[in-house]
Structure formats: structure tokens, C-alpha cells
A and B are shown apart, each in its own frame.
Chain A
Amino acid sequence: MFDSDRLMDRSGLSFQDMNCNLAAVSKQPKGIMKEVKEVVRLARKFNDTVVRPQALEMDRKIHRDPDYLPWEWVKAANEFGFYTLWIPKMFGGKGYSFSSMAYFAEELASCCLGMANLISVHYLGLATLTATWNLPLALKLCKEAVEGEKSGVPCLFDFAITEPAAGTDIADTHLVDKGSVALQAVRVEGGYTVNGTKIFISNGHFSTWHIVMGYEDLKRPADTFIFFALKSDTKGFSLGRKEKKMGQKACPASELIFHDCFVPDDQVCIDARQTRGMSRSHREIYQIIFDSICSSSKAGVCAFSAGVARGVYEKTLEHTANTRVGGSLMMNLEWVQARLADMLRNVAVTRLLYSEVNFANGMYGLNKMLQVKPAYYLYKYLPAPLVAKISAPIVNSSLCLWLTRKIQLDWKKDEELQRTTGWASIAKFTGSDAAMENCRIGLDLMGQEGLRNENAIEKFLRDSKLLQIYEGTNELNRLEAFKCVIGRNRFEITMFEDR
């Protein structure tokens, strides 16, 4: 029998695997295009008025005083309404499609990667709330973010998973069970008592709510994981050191310390009690939630990469158009022209890749629910107060919680999860490597001019190196791509059992 799904190649991948864009073309609402243009326009205005005039000085200021926290940037983003742009209307936000966020992130990153991260990480917290499908809790927290925008006191979220002795371990159930996690959540009446430390948490010092991963049994972390939300004024919670990073200095990497913190049940995003009765095991749900979050966040890293690649390309282009070497205008030298073409290729390929992950997430991932055309247009054109009024009782109902989790976690198809995770991993390591390549080409073409902080290229390089590390090192992401794309359905394959 002729199998059209196997048409594209012989490697066991389906048509949908390799062409998320084509699959999405007829199903994606056209309105998303308009939203993309709107948010890019907003980002450009923000870059022109806030970021570009201050980015280099901010970088120097934090280099001079590593403890400095750029609250003025947090507040400026709040005034522009950036912390509620992608909060769904049902939660009181402006309800822009998640797909448009990557284009926004690219635009900001083309100017300052630290600022792009400062805003995007807030939505990583929201993505975690969404991935656990605890909609009542998401509603509660998002209302505070909306209130923070109105009052002028920003309410941000962060996402805390990395621990001093466990970074990469967290990414996979196989690894985490053998790893050295230490943030323990002990069941007590009405909730949990939490002890431990998280490190490298982006925006930790700015966030009101911390979305945290912990474990009931440190010897069986995958089977006993728990996600919870903890407010920064909780008794026993404190902020530790602010890391001294090589780049992305505007976005603090924080240490979060939990000492006998009480987390009430209504702040638990998900735990083993809530997944009891589902057909999937708690450890399978660990992987689904983790991969769903990463499918979104890695698309974001790829968008950051496209922004950096473009920012460096534009600066270099300008330099080569105005600089002479050995009497010739640089831009007229063939080797320079070829390098500029390489740089533009890196911008284009990186943008295509995050777009593909966007398509995958819209078709099969976290973005799917609100990008189905009827839901999209319903939320798009109904007035926000009406949406909130209609949604609140539904969102808070136990039936809704049960049904969304049934659909999103229990009935989630493995191949759909592998598709989004695999593409996200490929986009992440390809994009960040491309961004780094552009920085290197830019530095070479600009010579000693590129070494000077005032010309921005060296900042792009320092900022970009982190793209190859966070959201899993590129080495780990290559293995994730193998697991989800190449090794899929090959039962002889083992992962993380290297000898």
C-alpha cells in the first residue's frame, strides 16, 4: 500500500514531521499575521525609545556594579503593557497569540538580548502554568499580572528548575532519577513544606511569583515531582546571590532559597495526587510537561538567536559600507561580500526554524488550544470583559480541569510531543550556533573596532554565548533531537545509558 505519510523520506519520519508549515497553513488563523505585525511594531518603538539609547550603558553599569538591578527597564516594559500582551483574554490579558511572541522576541534581541530575556522569561512562568493545565491557578496569578500593569507595580513570574547540583539532569526522567536534586516538598496538612535552593533563575530578583519544580521523594524524583507557585513574600523564602554573568546582564540570574516555606494546596500547579486516576503515570506526565514547556521556550531561544544574528549582521553591514581596507571599501571585496551572505543566511535560516517550531506548537503543542480557528476568533472579537465573565466559571470548574488535563496530558499523542520537542531542540542548537557564527564573522570583519564596547558587537558575542547553554546545553539538545526525531520508534535505541 502506498503510504503518503512516508512520501518525504525513508527515515521513518512522516510528512507532518518534516512539514509542520504546510500542515499549519490552512489551519492557522490569518489574524496571527496581523498580530505579528502589531507586536513587532511595538517592539521597535520600545527599542527606539527605551532599549537602544540605554543598552550599552546598562551593560557597563552592571559590569561596574554586578548587584545593580535594572528596575527601570522592568517598569518601562510594564508601562508598554508587555507583561500582559500574551496573557489570554480569559485570564484578563490582551490575548495575543503565543506564536507572535517569537517575532517580538527577535525584534528585542536584535537590540539587546538581556532585555528580550527579561520580558520573555515572564512568559516561561506562564507557559509552565499552562503546561500543567491548572487553569484556576493560572487565572489567579494572571489577574495579579494584569493588576500590576494597572497599578504600575510590575508583577512578574519566573520559572525555577535548576539546582546547584542538577542542571541537565532535570531534562529527562532517566537522568533525574539518578541525579542529585535536592529541593524537597514534604506533604503536610493543607499543602507542602518546601526546603532547598534553586540557582541561575532568570528574573528571580524581579519576580513576584516563582513557578518552582520540587520533589516529594528525592530518591524517586520523576515519580514524585511537583510544580508549585510561591510568592516572593512567603515566610522562609529569600533571594540569594545575583550571579555575575558574562553577558545578558540586564536580566538577573538569581539564587532562590526555600527554608521551610509553606505552599498551600491552591498554589500547587500539579502533583502526584492530581494525576492519580489518569491513564499515564506521573513520571510520563513529568516528561510531557517538561517537553511542552521546552518546545515553547526553545522556540524563544531560536527567536533570540535570529535577533542577535540580525543585530550583528546590520552592524557589520554598516561597518563594511563605511570602512576601507588597503584602499578598498570593504563591502566591495569579494570575501567580505561572501561573509555578509553567510550572515544573512544565518538570520534567514534561524527565523525559518523558529517559525517551523511555532507551526508545530500551534498544531500539536501548547499553542494549539487557543489557535484552533473557532476558539481564536471567539476570543479575538469578543470584548475582554465579556470573555472574562464567561470564562471565569468555566476555568474554575473541576470539570474543565479534568477535561483539559485529559486532552492535553492523558490523550496527548507521543508522536506529536516528539515532533514539537524534536523541532524545538533542532531550532535551539542550530539557531544559537548560527548566532554565535554571526558574532564571530562580525568581530572578524570589524577588527579592532569590533572589540570596543561602544560598537555593540562584543556585547552581542557575550550575550549570545548563553544561547548555547540555557534551555539545555546544545550538547543535550542534540541528544534530545536524536531521541525525538531520529531514534523515535526504534526500540533498540537506549538513551542516557552511555558506557
Chain B
Amino acid sequence: MTTSDEREYKLLINTSRDFAKKILLPHREENDRYPLADMDEKIMEKAYELDFFHVWLPEELGGFGGHLKKLVLILENIAETDAGMAVMILINAMAQEIILQAGEGKALADICTREKSVHDFLIAFPAFTNPFETSSVANARKKGDTYILNGETPYVVLGNISGQALVYAKIEGDDSDSFFLVDLKAGSVRTGDPVISLGLHACPVCDVCFHDTEAMIIGEKGKAPDYFNRMYGTFMLAGASIAAGIMRGAFDDALAYCRNRVQGGRPIGNWSELQLMLSHMALTVKNAETMIACLCEGGAGKGTEGDEGIISASIPIFDQARDVTSSGIQALGGYGYMEDYSQEKRFRDAQHLQSFLGRATLKKLNFLKSFYKLAS
């Protein structure tokens, strides 16, 4: 790693931490009330101004050219304060990556050229499922040079705030899965009300319905599983970095509380049962951070050859985040359950993230099938 790389990483860390502490933190509780209350759009605009949504783009479009370590540093440091914003950045980057994998860089360039606001720029994507496990997907019909979509895509992340969505649909006739880019402002698209969810409230989600909606196929017909799988390992690790950031926040707050809160005449952090809980948390957080850092240094994100290692490291981090954030609440007792303290939010966010790219157990089963060649 060169000195200029180091400087760049440091700058990224400082920028994302500054953004988290100065912009996200003061509005965290209020934004967590979304969609049952308004969201402060200025935060999203600020993230856009700071180019967080551009980070994955090729350099010629103003990004870092698919640099996983840089994405991970941003996600981890933002997620420590508010995972909702980190997931917004992640989902947008995922959609960009699939488009790039499909060789449709021009489509991204078009989006960048015509963007006038953060809304125009963002790409929505249904990221809390594995598209090829669900039975109800939209269908596509060829019409001249283009395709017509009908049906519903549920739980599209960023669906109600983005200019376009990347969705998958089955093409009539051959039943193959393909990705399509859809203009969400088209009159034939109906976006539902924002979905009220377990966590990640600041990252809006909605169902999207298509009624004879014109859509652009992304890449080759029937190749959606290939593009998805090429993106999968890298973005599982990026998702795991959000889980790691959530864990770091939960641990730091638990430790600070246990140093100050007194029980039986002494700080609760001095009681060995609680020390053991904190120790489990510390070990898990450090282990996850180290694992992610090593994988980024080791060239993760540069092809699918290393995916077995990346996925095997990433999946447990999601489970660990679920447990660490639960302990984060326990350490604070009744206070941990209250919205004024961020532990309950981290707990919900970590549980929510478990479903990133599909059901947690199915991800484990798929890992075995993918790398150990058992029957699917």
C-alpha cells in the first residue's frame, strides 16, 4: 500500500465519520421515525454532495472504480452511527455493479449525464431477497427493441426516492431471468406507500407495480443469475462491513455505559458476568473488523475466484451482529430498550440485515451448494 493510498483511506474515514457525527447523529432518532414521520432530505443530499453514492462508479464517471476497500471504509464508519444511510449507499452501489457486470456501463453514464438531483441519480433494487428463490416476480414481454413489464416487485429498496430501479423479471416464453432498468417516473409505474419495516428506517422501501411499463434489458437475456452471482460475494462483504459497523457502535456504547453505571456500589463493568458479555462483544467486533480488512487488502472484489473465502467470512458476521446488538441492549438494561439510546435501533438494524440478499439459512445452504457441488 502506497503512502498516497494511506492518505486517501484516512481522508475517507475522516469524511465518513464527520458526516456521521455532524450530519447523521443529530437527526438519527427523528429519521428513525420514517415512514411514520417525515425524513430530512437534506441528509441524503449531503451524502450525495460528498459523492458517497458515486463511490462504486468507474473513475471516468467520478467514482473510485469499484474499489471495495474504499466502499467498506465508508459503510463501516457510517453504519457505526446510522446503518440506514450505509444501506442506501450499499444498495445503489450494488445496482451499479450489476449494470457494470452486464456490460451496460453506458446506461450508468446516461444516468450520470442527466442527473439533476440525488433522486435522479439513485438506482433502487430489491436487495432483501435472493431473486432466484422467489416464485412471484414480474414478467417481461419483448416489443420491438424493448421490453414491456407487468406484475409486481415487492420490497424495492430506495423505490420511492429513486429515478430508476433495477429489477428482475421472467421473460415470457422461455421463463428465463433477466435484469431490467425501469424509469420509476413513468406513468405506468405505481410505487406503493413506504413499507414500515423492522429496522433501517432511514432507508426507504416500497413495493413497485408495473402495468405495460417499458423497460431496458440489462445485459443478455436470461443472464441475470450470472450477473447477480458475480456481484454476490463482493457485496456480501460490503454488507458485512455494515454489520461490523453496527456492532462497533453497540460495543462502544455498552462499554461506555458499563464504565459509568454503578450497581451494588461499583461500576457494572467490574462484575465478571458483565465483563464476559463485553469480552464476547469485543472479540466478535475485532474479529469481524480484522477479517473484513484482511479480505479487502487481499484483493476481494476483483473477481469471483475468492468468493468462497469472502462469503464464508461474511455470513457469520451478520449472525454475530444480531447477537452483539442483543447484548448491547442487555448491558444497558432498561435504558437499552429505549429509543433515546441507540442500542435498540442497532438491534433492529442488525436483525433486519440478516435478510440481506435472502434468508439467512438459505444463504448458508447456497454456500454449500455453490462451493461443494451438492445438488441444488
Residue numbers of A with Cβ under 8 A of B are 60, 63-64, 66, 162, 165, 167-169, 174-175, 178-180, 199-200, 243-247, 253, 323-327, 335, 339, 436, 440, 443-445, 447-448, 450-454, 458, 461-462, 465-466, 468-470, 473-475, 478-479, 496, 498
Contacts and interface: CB of A to CB of B under 8 A. Distances in A.
A479 B273 contact: yes
Contacts of A469: 329-330, 333-334, 336-337
A335 B199 CA distance: 27
Nearest to B361: A444
Contacts of B277: 475
Contacts of B36: 60, 63-64
Contacts of B129: 447-448
B48 interface: no
A498 B322 contact: no
B310 to A, nearest CB: 22
Given A174-B264, A448-B355, A453 B196 contact: yes
A79 to B, nearest CB: 29
Contacts, number: 137
B337 A466 contact: yes
B359 interface: yes
B256 interface: no
B37 interface: yes
B337 A465 contact: yes
B302 interface: no
A179 B361 contact: no
14 contacts: A167-B334, A169-B263, A180-B262, A199-B334, A244-B339, A244-B340, A246-B344, A323-B135, A335-B361, A448-B129, A451-B128, A451-B355, A475-B273, A498-B271
Contacts of B273: 475, 478-479, 498
Contacts of B334: 162, 167, 199-200, 253, 469-470
B70 interface: no
Interface of B: 33, 36-37, 128-129, 132-135, 154-155, 195-199, 262-266, 270-274, 277, 322, 326, 329-330, 333-334, 336-340, 344, 347-348, 351-352, 354-355, 358-362, 365, 376
A440 B322 contact: yes
Contact of B133 (A247, A326, A465): A326
A246 B355 contact: no
Contacts of B37: 64
Contact of B155 (A60, A436, A448, A458): A448
A64 B344 contact: no
A221 to B, nearest CB: 12
Given A451-B352, A475-B273, 10 more contacts: A60-B36, A162-B334, A178-B266, A179-B262, A199-B334, A326-B133, A444-B361, A448-B128, A451-B355, A458-B198
A462 B348 contact: yes
B347 A447 contact: no
A458 B154 CA distance: 17
Contact of A451 (B198, B266, B358, B360): B198
B264 A178 contact: yes
B264 A447 contact: no
Nearest to B32: A63
A247 B158 CA distance: 26
Contacts of A324: 135
Contacts of A165: 262
A201 to B, nearest CB: 11
B263 A443 contact: no
A336 to B, nearest CB: 9
Contact of B365 (A180, A335, A436): A335
A445 B326 contact: no
Nearest to B36: A64
A475 B274 contact: yes
Most buried by B among A63, A327, A448: A448
B195 A246 contact: no
Contacts of A479: 273
A496 B264 CA distance: 8
A468 B330 contact: yes
A465 B347 contact: yes
Contacts of B361: 335, 339, 444-445
Contact of B264 (A175, A468, A474, A475): A175
* Residue of B135, B198, B264, B347 with most partner-chain A CB within 10 A: B264
A461 B198 contact: yes
The 7 closest A-B pairs by CB, nearest first: A178-B265, A458-B198, A244-B339, A246-B344, A453-B196, A64-B36, A448-B128
A451 B201 CA distance: 11
A247 B345 CA distance: 11
Nearest to A475: B273
B163 to A, nearest CB: 23
Contacts of A243: 338
Nearest to B136: A324
Contact of A445 (B197, B262, B338, B359): B359
B338 A447 contact: no
A204 to B, nearest CB: 14
Contacts of B196: 60, 452-454
B333 A168 contact: yes
Nearest to B265: A178
A248 to B, nearest CB: 9
Contacts of B132: 326
Contacts of A473: 330, 333
A245 B329 contact: no
A167 B333 contact: yes
Nearest to A324: B135
B339 A246 contact: yes
Contacts of B264: 169, 174-175, 178-179, 496
A244 B362 CA distance: 35
A444 B359 contact: yes
A450 B354 CA distance: 11
B326 A465 contact: yes
Contacts of B198: 443, 450-451, 453, 458, 461-462
A24 to B, nearest CB: 33
Contacts of B355: 443-444, 447-448, 450-451
B197 to A, nearest CB: 5
B330 A475 contact: yes
B246 to A, nearest CB: 15
Contacts of B365: 335
A113 B192 CA distance: 29
Contact of B33 (A63, A448, A496): A63
A266 B202 CA distance: 53
Contacts of A440: 322, 351
Nearest to B347: A465
A339 B362 CA distance: 13
Contacts of A66: 339
B203 to A, nearest CB: 12
Contacts of B272: 498
Contacts of A339: 361
A58 to B, nearest CB: 13
A461 B330 CA distance: 15
A444 B336 CA distance: 24
Q: B135, B336, B359 — which one has the most chain A CB atoms within 10 A of its CB? A: B359
Given A447-B128, A451-B352, A179 B337 contact: no
A276 B198 CA distance: 54
Given A60-B36, A451-B355, A179 B271 contact: no
